[in-house]
Amino acid sequence: MLTSSTPAKPHTKWSDKQSKALADLTEEFTLSTAQLEHLTAAFIDQMQSGLAGDHKSSDLAMIPTFVSGRLDGQERGSYLALDLGGTNFRVCLITLKGNHDVEPNSESFKVTEHLQEAHISELMDFIAISIKDFITREHISSKIAKHRSNSNTLELGFTFSFPVTQTAIDAGMLLRWTKGFNCPGAVGSDIVQLLQEALDRKEVKVHVAALVNDTVGTLLAHSYKYPNTFIGAIFGTGTNGAYVEATRSIKTMPTPTAKEMIINIEWGNFDKDKRFLPVTPFDNKLDRESINPGVHVFEKMISGMYLGEITRNILLHLIDRRLLFDGTSSQKLNAHWSFKTEFMSQIESDTSPNLTSIAQILKQKLEICSKAQIDREIVKAVCELVGKRAARLSAMATAAVVRKGLSDGGHLAGDGYPLKLSEKHRVFDTAAGVNKSETAVEKVHERTDSAVVHDGNLIHVGIDGSVFKLYPHFEERMVEGLTELLGSRAKDLVPLNIAEDGSGVGAALAALIATKNAVHSR
Ligand code: BGC
């Protein structure tokens, strides 16, 4: 049977040199279970140091989001939502109808390359005007009159998908830009204030009630459908995860008022010093040439913004050794970032005997004439290696968060949760080390294998992002990795589900939580 882990067999005979080059690449890009285990242990360690505020030992920011409390899917109301995190931003009107039902209405606007690097006030002014136009066009004011907090102002939840340290649900300072953005005037400033000032400047009667990361929005949106959702994750242009933590474990929170809180992990920055990640020269090249070298190294091995560029670097390496396309490249393929991750999706989807779609993509998008079938097979094999490594690293991060939650002191180990680790299973608390982790695997296997599956003991993961939704075999490969790390029933006990419009619906839910809290504290 051909599974996602079996590389497609070449139909043609590769030369010895070609076979050797591909075997070397396979070795560099394939992550064994033991390597994944080692990374999982390091990831949990960094989560713990981050929660303790020890940022010397941890690259994980572990940001408290000030979003606490459970949703039950019965919440009602209409809220504006703004979703900014990539090359488009969206303005939405989200109506929460109760009974886990949502009615979204949204409009997309392009963030041009100019705006991605313009002064932050220019970007915020453009957003404020777009919100104003949306409100007028859609007659929003009359539609949501009954849900306003006062007669004039509309409440808005803002999903801002960059690393922000929050000081309240409606305040947060940008730590750094990622995903190609570089607007001066924003790092170190309060993002809510910047947006509110622009709305006020443009006389738009909207109040920014809540600020959330897209992972937090995704977690909230999924919780509206499945109240015991534990993780929200994004595998798209960038990658990141958020989860529910017991506040007693968050040492960076002075006086926790709630029992649990969502933490934005900012896992894209995991192991930025490359102590554990098996980075290759192709990853290093990409990192060096990116606009944020030395940070978000993990994200650069996983997410849609980067996978195509890693693949391009490998293809050029093979061309330079005359092992591909007779040693000839094209101007297009020579250009940075010209090989998009979506080409990889199309290439991996081509199962035709002569790989005709691959030939078309190479011709149309990259001006490469791949006369030989052998070339197309090699291109496909390279995409498989890069795509599979991304999925397995994504599984590793997800499994680490699940294990952290189940370990003693973790949120899932608390009262009322049916799956528990007993005292003797506290192996997760110990530092990295394959042997210790192997014991951990056995214990998790033992526990998950004996657990009875019903919704109460599922660990729901809500996911959004183009790579997860569109990249062939990504989910299947993730499940394989999760099974290796969490046991044979991982697929059933840790379901990976798409959280539709996590950013829009999640922002609206955050606005609802914030306005309710504001009413209570008045
Ligand atoms: C950002 C995160 C975000 C992720 C997914 C990363 O580049 O740092 O804040 O959640 O992308 O959009």
- pLDDT at residue 297 tops 60: yes
3-state secondary structure of 205: coil
Long-range contacts of 362-367 (CB under 8 A, 24+ apart): 365/332, 365/340, 366/330, 366/332, 366/333, 366/338, 366/339, 367/330, 367/331, 367/332, 367/333
Alpha carbon of 63 to ligand 1 centroid (Å): 13
Query: What is the band of 409 on the pLDDT scale with cuts at 50, 70, 90?
Result: low
Alpha carbon of 241 to ligand 1 centroid (Å): 8
- Give every CB contact of residue 141 below 8 A, 6+ residues apart in sequence: 135, 154
What are the two backbone dihedrals, phi and then psi, of residue 171, each rounded to the nearest 5 degrees? Answer: -155, 140
Q: Give the CA radius of gyration of the chain.
A: 23
Residue whose C-alpha is closest to residue 250's, from 192, 187, 166, 188: 166
Q: How far apart are CA 483 and CA 476, in angstroms?
A: 11
In what helix (H) or strand (E) does residue 436 lie, and over which residues does it extend? helix 434-450
Same domain, 172 and 310: no
For 20, the token pair is 């050797």
Looking only at the bridges linking them, the beta strands covering 154-160 and 206-212 are parallel
Q: The domain that contains 216 carries what CATH number?
A: 3.30.420.40
Same domain, 344 and 440: yes
Alpha carbon of 14 to ligand 1 centroid (Å): 40
For 195, the token pair is 């947006």
Residue whose C-alpha is closest to residue 66's, from 220, 238, 239: 220
Alpha carbon of 237 to ligand 1 centroid (Å): 8
Q: The domain that contains 30 carries what CATH number?
A: 3.40.367.20
Mutate to test the pocket of ligand 1, among 87, 240, 303 (most ligand atoms within 8 A of CB): 240
- pLDDT at residue 87 tops 80: yes
Which residue's CA is the nearest one to ligand 1's atom 11?
A: 238
How does pLDDT run across 467-506, given as a tens digit for each residue? 999 999 999 999 999 999 988 888 888 999 999 889 999 9
Alpha carbon of 162 to ligand 1 centroid (Å): 5
Least confident of 138-152, 154-168, 290-304, 347-361: 138-152
- Give every CB contact of residue 190 below 8 A, 6+ residues apart in sequence: 171, 172, 173
In-domain check, residue 522: no
Does 503 contact ligand 1 (Cβ within 6 A)?
A: no
In-domain check, residue 56: yes
Mutate to test the pocket of ligand 1, among 89, 234, 300, 302 (most ligand atoms within 8 A of CB): 234
Q: Considering its fold, how many domains does the chain have in total?
A: 2
- The strand pairing partners of 450, in sequence order, are none
Burial 322-360 (b: 16+ CB within 10 A, else e): ebbbeeebbeebeeeebbbbbbbbbbbebeeeebeebbe
Domain assignment of residue 189, given as a range: 64-265+501-515
Mutate to test the pocket of ligand 1, among 87, 89, 166, 179 (most ligand atoms within 8 A of CB): 179
- pLDDT at residue 239 tops 70: yes
Does 218 contact ligand 1 (Cβ within 6 A)?
A: no
Does 213 contact ligand 1 (Cβ within 6 A)?
A: yes
Same domain, 34 and 75: no
- Give every CB contact of residue 253 below 8 A, 6+ residues apart in sequence: 64, 247, 261
- pLDDT at residue 218 tops 70: yes
Same domain, 15 and 90: no
Please answer whether residues 37 and 251 qualify as being in contact, where contact means their C-beta atoms are separated by less than 8 angstroms.
no
Calculate mean pLDDT across residues 401-430.
Answer: 56
Which residue's CA is the nearest one to ligand 1's atom 3?
A: 161
In-domain check, residue 308: yes
